[in-house]
Structure 1
Amino acid sequence: MPRIIYIHVPECGGSSFGAALQLRHFLSQAVINLDPGDPTLPTGPRIRADYAHRRVQLHRLVSRRIRMISRLVQYDPELQNNAARDYIFVTLLRDPVARFVSHYNYLQRRHPAPSRPATLAAFLNSADAARLASQYLFYFAGQSLQPDQDPAPLIARAIASLARFDIVGDLSEPRAFAQQLQRHIGTPLPLWRRNAAPAPTKVPADLRPRIEALCAADIAVYQAARTARIAA
């Protein structure tokens, strides 16, 4: 079976497919460990330190020639150009508006924090909303969108990164994604649901315009990927 790096973006359904791939590669598989870091640090520096640590882990696992590597880790083009050039790169995307709402609900359900607004409407006014709204930029262009920053270069970088992936799936088409994976690994995948929300994600109609504005950059990346790269 081929070597795989599966980049899992939060709330895109990656846990279920990642678990299936781990089972198929159970003799040589690993997940990137998550490190919450120093809770006294501000959110931005703490997240950057955590993901720098995850990148080190990814490089170490590739150097050990682990066949299946997955979890929440940023795409590294230099790694693909060099040590991981014989790996298949895989990711799964989701409509950014639904992904954003699901991400907020997940944090409230699994990682409640007094500093996070208790309602989605109030959260949209927080500084952290922009970070959650630009996850595709963070994972595929290397950084979240900053206030007053021109998004165009980051959007272009994320689109170019996704164009280099062997498989880009869409959570709305799980069967097509599973079929693409099966064609590459040569065997069916045992699929089950992991980390599923207790109820389907609902986007409040009155908040949708504000969420779409926040997610505009990720929406551009997603639409480009759907046009050119989504598995079908």
Structure 2
Amino acid sequence: MSWIQNLYNNRNRFKQAIMGKRVVFHHVPKCAGTSVSRALRLRYFLSEESIAAPGTAAVMERQHGPLDFSLLEDFNRIRTFRVELLHYLMWKDIYFIGGHVPFNNKAYDQFQGYKLITVLRDPVERFISEYFYNFQREHQSRIDQDFESYLNSPMGQRNALKFCEYFCGDTELTLDDPAKLVEKAKDNLKHFSVIGFTDDMGRFEADVRRELGIRVSFGMQNKRTTSDTKISEIVTPELRKKVKEMCRFDQEIYDAARSQSR
């Protein structure tokens, strides 16, 4: 047997010795995930894949034609595609998988050798940050509405349930009963080895080091460009109060996750 064939036959053993533990990073938008994903992709450069939002959106539009991701039906198409990609990459035994992809019960049940990690942010701050990040940007999540109109739009209402969406475990998202999504999400987050929080990234680094046996440093990427003064002018106390009410389901998940991580 040639040395190349021998290397090929033993590749999994070599990968495990070099890479360590397998991990899926569920990157919730505007929760410091870009810096986390980049650092982990560098650490796992021999076996890593990213489920990129722009790339998956582009593929779906080439397959199905123009899609309007403000519509739940079209949004579920790309959401299902990303879940299926996650399942496929776990089947391929990729050591690091990261991206804007929700937790999926079927994938988790079949591939329990993976460590699951995520980072969460205060739901109100996350919602506001997502709006200003996506406002009039040329990509699949572009927002063209002013902030008050956005709050009343289907996309705004859905984005207030981001933690529900990411952790409910369902392949196809339904929003008729958010309270049920909350309970599913809280249960599913118990499967996660590390849950970080944007206000304590130092602890997240330490927890990742402990659980994965690797040393990484997470910087800051994709910072918003809108000033705090401009945001405070647009997001009035009345509108912030409305956002808080919209995010009440995500807040329950966030509070449960913080209690779990203490």
TM-score by length of 1: 0.89
The amino acid that maps onto 2:22 is R
Equivalent of residue 44 in structure 2, options 25, 36, 48: 25
Counterpart in the other structure of 1:2: 21
The amino acid that maps onto 1:155 is V
Counterpart in the other structure of 2:183: 156
SS of 2:78 mapped into structure 1? helix
Residue 178 (structure 1) aligned with residue 205 (structure 2):
yes
SS of 1:194 mapped into structure 2? coil
Counterpart in the other structure of 2:8: none
SS of 2:24 mapped into structure 1? strand
Query: Counterparts of 1:193-232 in structure 2 under 5 Å?
Result: 193-199=220-226, 204=235, 205-229=237-261
Task: Note closer, same or farther for the CA distance 1:40–1:151 as it changes in structure 2 (3 Å cut).
Answer: closer
> Which stretch shows the higher mean deviation, 91-100 or 52-61?
52-61
The amino acid that maps onto 1:5 is V
Equivalent of residue 102 in structure 1, options 108, 126, 129: 129
List alignment gaps of at least 5 residues for structure 2: 1-19
Equivalent of residue 108 in structure 2, options 76, 80, 84: 80
Deviations for 1:168-206, whole angstroms, at most 9, x for unmatched residues? 111111111111111123232133222221256656333
Equivalent of residue 46 in structure 1, options 55, 74, 77: 74
Residue 61 (structure 1) aligned with residue 80 (structure 2):
no
Pick the structure with more helix per residue.
2
List alignment gaps of at least 5 residues for structure 1: none
Deviations for 1:155-175, whole angstroms, at most 9, x for unmatched residues? 100100111111111111111
Residue 120 (structure 1) aligned with residue 152 (structure 2):
no
Residues 131 and 144 in structure 1, CA contact (< 8 A), matched pair in contact too: no
SS of 2:112 mapped into structure 1? coil
Identity over aligned pairs, percent: 28
**Distance in 2 between residues matched to 1:59 and 1:200, nearest whole Å:** 39
Residues 137 and 145 in structure 1, CA contact (< 8 A), matched pair in contact too: no
Residues 7 and 70 in structure 1, CA contact (< 8 A), matched pair in contact too: yes
TM-score by length of 2: 0.79
SS of 1:47 mapped into structure 2? helix
> Which stretch shows the higher mean deviation, 2-11 or 196-205?
196-205
The amino acid that maps onto 2:50 is V
How many residues matched?
Answer: 226
Residues 15 and 195 in structure 1, CA contact (< 8 A), matched pair in contact too: yes
C-alpha RMSD over aligned residues: 2.2
Structure with max Cα Rg: 2
**Distance in 1 between residues matched to 2:206 and 2:145, nearest whole Å:** 40
